[in-house]
Structure 1
Amino acid sequence: MYFYIPYTYTFMRTLCKCLYFSILLLHLLPAHAFPAADDKNIVIKERKERYEFTRGDAKNPVWINQLFSTTYRCNEFRGTIPYTEFYDDYSRIGEVKAYVNGDRVKGLRPQHGYHSIEGFFYSDARVCGFMLDLEKKGTESRVELEKTVLDPRYFTSIYFHEDFFVEQKEITLVVPRWMHLDIKEMNFAGAGITKNKSFDEKNNADIYTYTISGQKAAKKEPLAPGPSYVYPHLVVCSHYAETENGRIGYFSNVQDLYDWYRRLVKDIGNDPEAVKTTALQVAKDAGNDLAKVKAVYTWVQENIRYIAFEDGIAGFRPAKAQDVLQKKYGDCKGMANLLKEMLVSLGFDARLCWIGTRHIAYDYSMPTLSVDNHMICAVYLQGRQYFLDATETYIGFDQYAERIQGRQVLIENGDQYNLARVPSRTCEQNRQEEKRSLRIEGNHLTGATGHRYTGECTEFLLTQAHATKKENLGEALQQYLTNDNRLYGISNVETSDLHNWSTDLTIRYDLLHKDAVNSFGDEMYIDLDFRKEMDDADIDTTTRVHDLWLSFKRQLLQETSLAIPAGFRVKTLPEPLSIDHPKYAFKAGYEVKGNQVIYRKEITIKDTRLLKSEFSRWNSDIRKLRQTYLEQLTLTKK
């Protein structure tokens, strides 16, 4: 669907893990091994997870020992499925056992792997995986795996859902009284989870046991809310541990979280002089401070490629600014750090910011590493605060992507911190306007067209254009502007500066729409809406499980004027459309002004979050929009 394409989302840490793991598994495991979301052949008969806090070593005083036991059953026919577990520099995999029909698999050698792309995408995230056989209908296979997390800071959440239907699942946490933490129960309403708490007097430990039965497989759907919104899970907030060597602090409050982040960024090893030369060169032609900030921001957006480096300590510590500058790539933290250092070298008050995108349901009222997944930069200028997200490659200065609008942000402020929110924007930020002035020549429509794009509409178009080789840029624009329709030809294309996205992007061209006019006797039938945006935007309510979050708020305006040929008049005008819902609006209509027919259309997305309860109304309104698109203008001879 044209309107639903998520335009240029950078890979936030949580989301990026999913993509990274999927790519890595493609290297480790055969493609046919991946189950469909509605696979009924294989189910999980029983899954047990045990998490026990134990004493560690001098470097990491507290460990979390984990034991997983999963029993799969084959219901219909033989199958082979992937079993995987992920880890990084702050966790390790222990013994792995597999049993097929009760017999232990001998010589089991799980594969362990890193991943790289083009020689420079590297992460300390690793995957341990192997293929598990279920030999025939009614047979069972079981996997037992031991894992240790070496630092409670990285032990943040436990989800109840699995990739298969789960008949029975049990989660047990063993928390000695010397370990102080909170366990927050998220999305439990209606999940059917039972909880039991007991006390192990011998080991002086509290034992929390959660059970769930008959749980459907997790379903991955496009444009769905993040899993923290929809699936039941536990968030573990480790505060501190009382050890023989004294108290070990983790995250009791947001100040503790900030202090840990602050230590990481203070220990980067930036070389200010190494980036100052570039900053001065980039800003040399800027006339004032605002222009200098814009110049530096735009330069980083265009010249530093976003590459994810997400897990372990690299998920939280930025790369050195001079390294990102030299390599011309970095993750969100490296790009934010470089941007900050370049601005600071020019004398600006720029600071690092931690933020959780809309993919995450939490804010900083909950002190845990799972609260944020992104880093940006803030700059204070002329009494105002601006947020700069260089991973949004083609979004303008003081414009904000939907994924960070309104989100709480943790701002660097020396030994303290500031909390703020990224400004929210209305659909007015993201406008797409098209004006066409047409006349009839035989069976064709010909004339001139002008486009204007702002905000995330600009970002989408420029992403497509700049992803194309320079010599093919004209061809790429042709394909986009014509919807790849060979009957819709454009020529004499003129654009504004495609390297300046802080101003409106404009495109002008001449068009020739062949065979757009159908003549029968004394009458002409003309379809003035060439693009028909969102005519296929129905939501399949029979299969959709989750709410649907549109990519961003948007306003699309289209106006076409058609000169009425001499000797003709308007016989009929299609009925107007006017739908005004609190979250969206669809409007279209025709009017006659002198010797012209004017067609105007407006599609507005005011709120991106469509609830399942709103799908029926949405589909009904899309059908009305589609019916309007089918109506044609009729001209007849006088």
Structure 2
Amino acid sequence: MKKIFYLTLISFHFLTAQEKSKILYRNEVVTITNKSKLEIESFIEEQREIAKSKNVEEYSINIPYDNFSEISNIKGASINPVTNKKTKLSQYEISTNELKSRDIFYSDNKYKHFDFNSVVDKSKIEYSYKIKQNEPRLLSYFTFQHELQMVASKFEIRADASVEIGYKLFGENQDKVVFTQTKEGNTNVYTWTAVNVPAFKEENRSLNYTYFLPHVVYYIKSYTKENQKEDIFPDVKHLYKWYYSLVKEVNKLDQTAVKNKTLDLVKDKTSSKDKAKEIYNWVQQNIHYVAFEYEMGGFIPRDAASVFDKKYGDCKDISNLLNEMFKYAGIESNLVWIGTRDKPYSFSDVPTPLVNNHMITAVKIDKQRYFVDGTDSFCPFGFPSAMIQGKEGLIGIAEEEFVIEKVPVVDVKDNKLKVDLKLKIADNSVFGTSKIELSGYEKSHFLNVLAANKQKEDEILKNGMARFNEKIEVETIDVNKHEYENKETTLSYNLKLDGWAKKIGEKIIVKPILLAPFKEYIIDLKERKLPIENDSKFINEFNYIYEVPENYQLEFIPENSKKENETLSYEIAYKKDKKNLVVSQKIILKKLLIETNTFESWNSVVSELTQQYNQSIILTKK
């Protein structure tokens, strides 16, 4: 789906200088006039005080836009702090560049770039520009927070009285934003102001910044022309009406090849679920994801026959092909507009294209709806892709009919890493064999990593267990990927840990827990300010069978241990017999989001878990 960019690019690099720069003011005025057609133009101006001239990134400016908008009247200057002399920005210093992303093959996203010359410590820089928005459905938002402190900011909409505006404030620090609405003649004026909003610091593995930055989303509900009301986005019904208008005419080419392939795929299948799975797996294996975001091509799927023939497409293209193939197989199927977990909005909050950035397909079989995302090459049928768990989907049923349903979050028991180890102790080492089984997202993530790094497959296989213990040495014995089968991916290894056993006189001391997820994963309560996002909930299960060395017996084993909170749990148990020691270790991550108010209880569980990893068994000679 087409991405809608905020008008000033926020790079969110980490600032390393001790002395921080400031945004002294940032103002934007959006003027909406209703003449022969709606005309929308914004004027943006900003001034910054640059603490250190070495912080070049702070006076390197990027202004994104696309083919739906036009940038003009870029002006700027740097101001010397001693002489107050202005050095104006030359038009020759302004470049136009393609805004590239590793996730997008081709798009119309661009940006204007310029740097300021003659900047010294404590210089001020100022710049302004205009942007004309040519598509009234693709308005965006204004944010009152930045990676630099925002001393003052103002956002203003000046709209003809015949234009009805919609708006909603999102994010944190909303108490710092003051709203007023006034009228000047035939113009409605909506104004939001904020002062002294602190700098925002991005943190690893957190939610998208739009969850936190205070920002106002604005859009046009309707306008009146010659006493005739024209609706744009007064509600989600009209958003769906627009979306439907974009897809209703797409499949006009000859679909015979698509139909014949579908019928061939399902000819030996008796149940609708088996048919759907066969079609989905074929698309996963044969249609390659390539993202296109060019003008309306960012919203309109390409013809199913064309995608089938070329064997590639973006999310809309793949969803459209799946939708047609499911229908040819006699399965109820519908297109779904959806936002990934990067989007903090619901359709009721924001009935505009800003709420979603993705398209999938939904099939209904025996009264159960399955959300199908063909862009994930190894996601099992029946699972939504991980990035849309818990999100609202706008499901198109017919021209005047749609439903909004929330995509389920996959149950923790369906995402599992299980490791069975058979081990011996000798010569200060622990060695033996292991078998790993991966299911659900654990399986699909592993297969996606392998597929994206085929030249490094051996290295990935060998290092797969090193994330739990970097000292472990492994030799791959067997790999059964079972990519599109209803079976776990299985990996078999020989393994060895030199120096893991210590022989002291008549005794051998060994730490029996070899694999240690979340070891010392303590959250810094002073530094960490944002919640931690996980791709999925999952279970890690490790079962160790230690063969007791000949002429030795177990003198000491640790006590069983378990602890849990609302986010994390673990259980470690020991069982011995005449020949073996059996150790079971289970860890469950229960939440997609580790909220800040659970950090202390998280640390408490992790601290005890880490202590258990350091426990030892003692063997003594008979």
Instruction: State TM-score, norm by structure 2.
Output: 0.90
Of the three residues 194, 211, 236, the one matched with 1:212 is 194
Q: CA 1:120–1:149 in 2, change beyond 3 Å: closer, same or farther? A: closer
The question of 1:447 aligning with 2:426 is answered no
- After TM superposition, give the deviation of residue 396 of structure 1 in Å: 0.7
Map residues 421-500 of structure 1 onto 2, 5 A cutoff.
421-469=406-454, 473-481=457-465, 488-495=473-480, 497-500=481-484
For residues 560 and 70 of structure 1, the distance between their equivalents in structure 2, rounded to whole angstroms, comes to: 62
For residue 43 of structure 1, what is the aligned residue in structure 2?
22
> Which has the larger displacement, 99-108 or 79-88?
99-108
For residue 637 of structure 1, what is the aligned residue in structure 2?
621
What SS does structure 2 have at the residue aligned with 1:503?
coil
- After TM superposition, give the deviation of residue 558 of structure 1 in Å: 0.8
- After TM superposition, give the deviation of residue 585 of structure 1 in Å: 0.5
> Which has the larger displacement, 85-94 or 460-469?
460-469
Q: Which amino acid aligns with 1:73?
A: E
> Which has the larger displacement, 113-122 or 556-565?
113-122
- After TM superposition, give the deviation of residue 412 of structure 1 in Å: 1.4
Q: Aligned residue pairs: how many?
A: 608
- After TM superposition, give the deviation of residue 13 of structure 1 in Å: 6.1
- After TM superposition, give the deviation of residue 197 of structure 1 in Å: 2.0
For residue 225 of structure 1, what is the aligned residue in structure 2?
207
Q: CA 1:381–1:608 in 2, change beyond 3 Å: closer, same or farther? A: closer
The question of 1:181 aligning with 2:157 is answered no
For residues 606 and 361 of structure 2, the distance between their equivalents in structure 1, rounded to whole angstroms, comes to: 40
- After TM superposition, give the deviation of residue 288 of structure 1 in Å: 4.3
What SS does structure 2 have at the residue aligned with 1:603?
strand
For residues 275 and 56 of structure 1, the distance between their equivalents in structure 2, rounded to whole angstroms, comes to: 47
For residue 621 of structure 1, what is the aligned residue in structure 2?
605
The question of 1:65 aligning with 2:41 is answered yes
The question of 1:275 aligning with 2:258 is answered yes
The question of 1:249 aligning with 2:231 is answered yes
- After TM superposition, give the deviation of residue 430 of structure 1 in Å: 0.6
Q: CA 1:197–1:396 in 2, change beyond 3 Å: closer, same or farther? A: same
Maintained 8 Å contact 2:288/2:312: yes
Q: Which amino acid aligns with 1:268?
A: V
For residues 182 and 506 of structure 2, the distance between their equivalents in structure 1, rounded to whole angstroms, comes to: 87
For residue 4 of structure 1, what is the aligned residue in structure 2?
none
Q: CA 1:78–1:512 in 2, change beyond 3 Å: closer, same or farther? A: closer
Q: Which amino acid aligns with 1:223?
A: R
Map residues 374-385 of structure 1 onto 2, 5 A cutoff.
374-385=358-369
The question of 1:531 aligning with 2:515 is answered yes
Q: Deviations over 1:523-559 (max 9, x none)?
A: 1122222221111422233332311122211111111
Q: RMSD between aligned alpha carbons?
A: 2.8
Of the three residues 229, 239, 247, the one matched with 2:221 is 239
Maintained 8 Å contact 2:461/2:476: no
Maintained 8 Å contact 1:454/1:504: yes
For residue 61 of structure 2, what is the aligned residue in structure 1?
83
Map residues 48-127 of structure 1 onto 2, 5 A cutoff.
48-55=27-34, 61-77=37-53, 79-80=55-56, 81-101=59-79, 102-115=86-99, 121-127=105-111
Q: Deviations over 1:497-525 (max 9, x none)?
A: 43225432223344444443221211112
Of the three residues 294, 299, 311, the one matched with 2:282 is 299
- After TM superposition, give the deviation of residue 37 of structure 1 in Å: 7.4
Q: CA 1:196–1:563 in 2, change beyond 3 Å: closer, same or farther? A: same
Q: Which amino acid aligns with 1:622?
A: V
The question of 1:156 aligning with 2:140 is answered yes
What SS does structure 2 have at the residue aligned with 1:531?
coil
Q: CA 1:209–1:119 in 2, change beyond 3 Å: closer, same or farther? A: closer
Q: CA 1:482–1:36 in 2, change beyond 3 Å: closer, same or farther? A: closer
For residues 470 and 179 of structure 2, the distance between their equivalents in structure 1, rounded to whole angstroms, comes to: 59
For residues 123 and 509 of structure 2, the distance between their equivalents in structure 1, rounded to whole angstroms, comes to: 65
For residue 340 of structure 2, what is the aligned residue in structure 1?
357
What SS does structure 1 have at the residue aligned with 2:107?
coil
For residues 487 and 220 of structure 1, the distance between their equivalents in structure 2, rounded to whole angstroms, comes to: 34
The unaligned stretches of length 5 or more in structure 1 are: 1-11, 26-32
What SS does structure 1 have at the residue aligned with 2:238?
helix
- After TM superposition, give the deviation of residue 243 of structure 1 in Å: 2.1
Maintained 8 Å contact 1:224/1:547: yes
- After TM superposition, give the deviation of residue 445 of structure 1 in Å: 3.1
For residues 227 and 387 of structure 1, the distance between their equivalents in structure 2, rounded to whole angstroms, comes to: 27
Maintained 8 Å contact 1:561/1:598: yes
Q: Which amino acid aligns with 1:90?
A: F
What SS does structure 2 have at the residue aligned with 1:154?
coil
Maintained 8 Å contact 1:37/1:218: no
Of the three residues 152, 160, 171, the one matched with 1:168 is 152
> Which has the larger displacement, 282-291 or 528-537?
282-291
Q: CA 1:607–1:215 in 2, change beyond 3 Å: closer, same or farther? A: same
> Which has the larger displacement, 154-163 or 110-119?
110-119
Q: CA 1:401–1:563 in 2, change beyond 3 Å: closer, same or farther? A: same
The question of 1:563 aligning with 2:570 is answered no
For residue 82 of structure 2, what is the aligned residue in structure 1?
none
Of the three residues 398, 402, 406, the one matched with 1:417 is 402
- After TM superposition, give the deviation of residue 623 of structure 1 in Å: 2.3
Maintained 8 Å contact 1:64/1:149: yes
For residues 38 and 491 of structure 1, the distance between their equivalents in structure 2, rounded to whole angstroms, comes to: 46
Q: Which amino acid aligns with 1:226?
A: N
For residues 118 and 417 of structure 2, the distance between their equivalents in structure 1, rounded to whole angstroms, comes to: 53
Of the three residues 132, 136, 153, the one matched with 2:116 is 132
What SS does structure 2 have at the residue aligned with 1:220?
coil
For residues 322 and 406 of structure 1, the distance between their equivalents in structure 2, rounded to whole angstroms, comes to: 32
Maintained 8 Å contact 1:39/1:164: no
What SS does structure 2 have at the residue aligned with 1:335?
helix
For residues 326 and 335 of structure 1, the distance between their equivalents in structure 2, rounded to whole angstroms, comes to: 12
What SS does structure 2 have at the residue aligned with 1:152?
coil
Of the three residues 297, 308, 325, the one matched with 2:308 is 325
For residues 78 and 486 of structure 1, the distance between their equivalents in structure 2, rounded to whole angstroms, comes to: 41
Q: Which amino acid aligns with 1:461?
A: F
What SS does structure 2 have at the residue aligned with 1:540?
coil
Maintained 8 Å contact 1:134/1:141: no
Of the three residues 526, 540, 544, the one matched with 1:542 is 526
Q: CA 1:84–1:425 in 2, change beyond 3 Å: closer, same or farther? A: same
The unaligned stretches of length 5 or more in structure 2 are: 80-85
Maintained 8 Å contact 1:196/1:208: yes
What SS does structure 2 have at the residue aligned with 1:463?
helix
Q: Deviations over 1:418-444 (max 9, x none)?
A: 222223332111111111122234433
> Which has the larger displacement, 363-372 or 322-331?
322-331
Q: Deviations over 1:157-178 (max 9, x none)?
A: 2222223221111111112210
Q: Deviations over 1:365-404 (max 9, x none)?
A: 1312122221110112233322111122212111234432
State the percentage of identical aligned residues: 24
For residues 249 and 237 of structure 1, the distance between their equivalents in structure 2, rounded to whole angstroms, comes to: 12
